[in-house]
Structure 1
């Protein structure tokens, strides 16, 4: 299995366990699904029997609903972020990526800069045409990638967009 991490934060964003499509060699469009996860404790696993006197332990129910990619990789939603603010953050992210490439891949800086300009045009276009939610890696530090979460035309099938220039693949 491959895990895709943010090159700035080093944190996990998604894995290849989802349906993925590389669009124009610019970004991964990863299709997820709506799901509900429960972390409830089942006493039968531990051999527990409820006492006739009613003195058994009770546990709080821990149920989470949402997009499987978000839940599995503990992505955090960045609320109250509009398109204009997102594009500003995206440009700042590009500056951080440029510094990363200069330091870690100096031979790829020109290629990165060209790809990022193309990506910026594409991001402007898709965020103008569609509504998105914005997510970051688990720490939500504001330093790394702000991934997009949108829905297919059916309104039920979620997908996320992660930018190829800001990812590193790690095999597990």
Structure 2
């Protein structure tokens, strides 16, 4: 299994169990999330307590709906950014990430990050913002939004900020 960790914080943000599509010259990875029910276990053993003279005690139903990616990687939702805050975040992200990339990666990053930034800025009002479990101040941010008419969220990851680790 491959896990993708945030280069800046070390948090696990994604794995190869969630297929991605590269967009914006590979700067962004687009991943489809899914709402799932967590915690509900309904086991039918075929017995009917009321018919057998027992009481139907019911079940302590702790079922909650969660988004699979958010739950699996324990992503923490952050307050939304306005355009000014987002630009400040991107500038800081570029400054912190660039020295951690190889020379060829730096070239591609500098060449293509502007188009990815414009892509995200165009969706800024529709985005939700998440960081990894550690909630590190200088970490990568994961973005989520709902495509037109979609029931499940689409996540956007800043690909240059991810490092592939084999588990």
TM-score if structure 1 supplies the norm length? 0.76
Note if contact 2:28-2:116 (Cα within 8 Å) is conserved in structure 1.
Answer: no
Would you identify which runs of 4 or more consecutive aligned residues in structure 1 move more than 6 Å?
Answer: none
Q: Which residue of 1 aligns with 2:17?
A: 17
1:114 Cα offset (Å): 4.4
Please report the RMSD computed on the Cα atoms of aligned residues, expressed in angstroms.
2.8
Matched, 1:66 2:66: yes
1:64 Cα offset (Å): 3.7
Structure 2 unaligned regions, length at least 5: 46-56
**Alpha carbons of structure 1 residues 165 and 80: separation in structure 2 relative to 1, 3 Å:** closer
TM-score if structure 2 supplies the norm length? 0.78
Structure 1 distance, partners of 2:85, 2:115, is: 16
Picking from 112, 120, 141, the partner of 2:114 is: 120
- Secondary structure of 1:17's match? coil
- Secondary structure of 1:96's match? helix
Structure 2 distance, partners of 1:111, 1:4, is: 17
Q: Which residue of 2 aligns with 1:167?
A: 162
Structure 2 distance, partners of 1:85, 1:10, is: 23
The 5 Å alignment of 1:1-172 reads 1-23=1-23, 24-38=25-39, 62-101=62-101, 108-109=102-103, 111-129=105-123, 131-172=126-167
Note if contact 1:90-1:146 (Cα within 8 Å) is conserved in structure 2.
Answer: no
More helix by share: 1
Structure 1 unaligned regions, length at least 5: 45-55, 102-107
Length, aligned pairs only:
155
Structure 2 distance, partners of 1:143, 1:13, is: 15
Structure 2 distance, partners of 1:70, 1:18, is: 12
**Alpha carbons of structure 1 residues 60 and 89: separation in structure 2 relative to 1, 3 Å:** farther
